[in-house]
Amino acid sequence: MPNILLLGERVERDYAAPLARELAARGVAARLAPDLPPGEVDYIVLRPGAVGADFTPFTRAKAVLSTWMGVETLVTNPTLTQPLARMVEPSMTRGMTEYVTAHVMRHHIGLDVHVHGLKGAWHRTVPPLAPERPVTVLGLGELGRSAASTLAALGFPVTGWSRSPRELPYLARTFSGRAGLHGALDGAQIVVILLPLTRGTENLLGAAEFARLAPGAVIINPARGPVIDDDALLAALDSGQVGHATLDVFRREPLPPDHPFWHHPQVTVTPHIAAETRVATAAAVLAENIAGVERGEPLRDRVDRAAGY
């Protein structure tokens, strides 16, 4: 019977019952508790944002399983040497794809002007059709592939960029590596950021990158705030090189009340809502991963420590 440590009050509250049910459905009888002796723990389930733990005492642990997809606060913990799995679950992917699609369509059609901007003036601006609107998706992991394929199905010519080469038939173009970033951005009218936060992606988008975009381009970032150089983005917005930024993630969250993003007329702030972990589906993913390891299978969605995700 594996012993599963639920690390953190919210994990205990949210996951104890559904995870126990999902494990039982897979024939795994487990002990789940928030206060197990470290030397008896087989698995640890946690939320990265609430943890600054010392994992050294957990000498028996077969895996640490995160309830979040982003693991940047865990991979930098030198005491966490156990195998680490990030959360990849279908509801999160669907939520992100819906958020991205909604905001791409909002900016493509020009809904902000129609909803807020006419104010009694009959000013007709007809948007282009989707095939005339180049979109670039930065990051072709689970979330990026889902969003990119949905946008491509709507007719947008989608360019994809990733750390390593990928061949995806629905993409108009693909680029990879730091050397390919500027090519992926050249002429893009809408840029969607779906990258993890790593040493290689922090401040990835700055003045030189914004200069590559089509004048008045739109930035949509529901991934990680520090991927963008905030000062460079504000300068690009003020100059008009970037026409609008829709931001769901920030260097500090909640976003401080005095931050310029709140007050800039060309910035939309949403409060980190693009892709939330849904407990019901996440519990099933956690249970299947634990049950698989108990059967002798490899840990799913295992984090590459060198890559940072």
What pLDDT band is residue 95 in, cutting at 50, 70 and 90?
very high
The answer to the question of residue 157 being in a domain is yes
What pLDDT band is residue 118 in, cutting at 50, 70 and 90?
confident
Mean pLDDT, the chain, integer: 96
How far apart are the C-alpha atoms of 144 and 150, rounded to whole Å?
Answer: 10
What pLDDT band is residue 125 in, cutting at 50, 70 and 90?
confident
The domain tally of the chain equals: 2
What pLDDT band is residue 113 in, cutting at 50, 70 and 90?
confident
209 and 106 assigned to the same domain: yes
* Per-residue model confidence (pLDDT) at position 52: 66
From residue 192, alpha-carbon distances to 69, 97, 205, 302 in Å are: 18, 11, 12, 25
143 and 238 assigned to the same domain: yes
Give the H/E segment covering residue 217: strand 217-221
**Helix (H/G/I), strand (E/B), else coil: 159:** strand
Q: Tell me 27's DSSP state.
A: T
257 and 184 assigned to the same domain: yes
What pLDDT, in 10s, does the model give residues 138-162?
999 999 999 999 999 999 999 999 9
108 and 250 assigned to the same domain: yes
What pLDDT, in 10s, does the model give residues 263-287?
999 999 999 999 999 999 999 999 9
117 and 73 assigned to the same domain: no
How far apart are the C-alpha atoms of 272 and 142, rounded to whole Å?
Answer: 18
* Per-residue model confidence (pLDDT) at position 50: 58
82 and 105 assigned to the same domain: no
How far apart are the C-alpha atoms of 128 and 93, rounded to whole Å?
Answer: 28
The answer to the question of residue 306 being in a domain is no
Residue 8 region by backbone torsions, left for phi larger than 0, else alpha for psi between -120 and 50, else beta = left
Give the H/E segment covering residue 145: helix 142-153
Per-residue pLDDT, averaged over 280-300, amounts to: 98
From residue 283, alpha-carbon distances to 82, 218, 272, 275 in Å are: 21, 36, 21, 16
* Per-residue model confidence (pLDDT) at position 51: 56
Phi/psi at 267 (5° precision): -125, 130
Residues annotated as catalytic are 224, 272
- Inform me whether the pLDDT recorded for 288 exceeds 70: yes
8 and 129 assigned to the same domain: no
- Order of strands across the sheet with 217-221? 173-176, 158-162, 135-138, 190-193, 217-221, 242-247, 267-269
CB burial string 155-190: b at 16+ within 10 A, e below: ebbbbbbbbeebeeeebeebbbeeebbebbbeebbb
The pairing of beta strand 158-162 with beta strand 173-176: parallel
* Per-residue model confidence (pLDDT) at position 146: 98
Residue 119 region by backbone torsions, left for phi larger than 0, else alpha for psi between -120 and 50, else beta = left
The pairing of beta strand 267-269 with beta strand 242-247: parallel
What pLDDT, in 10s, does the model give residues 7-35?
999 999 999 999 999 999 999 999 999 99
What pLDDT, in 10s, does the model give residues 205-249?
999 999 999 999 999 999 999 999 999 999 999 999 999 999 999
The answer to the question of residue 209 being in a domain is yes
The answer to the question of residue 302 being in a domain is no
The answer to the question of residue 307 being in a domain is no
76 and 199 assigned to the same domain: no
117 and 225 assigned to the same domain: yes
Q: Give the domain CATH number at 177.
A: 3.40.50.720
- Inform me whether the pLDDT recorded for 101 exceeds 80: yes
- Inform me whether the pLDDT recorded for 117 exceeds 80: no
The answer to the question of residue 301 being in a domain is no
Domain that holds residue 8: 3-89+277-294
Kindly report which listed range (49-58, 176-185, 300-309) carries the lowest average pLDDT score: 49-58
The answer to the question of residue 146 being in a domain is yes
The answer to the question of residue 80 being in a domain is yes
104 and 192 assigned to the same domain: yes
85 and 40 assigned to the same domain: yes
Q: Is the dihedral of CA 205, 229, 275, 16 positive or negative?
A: positive
195 and 167 assigned to the same domain: yes
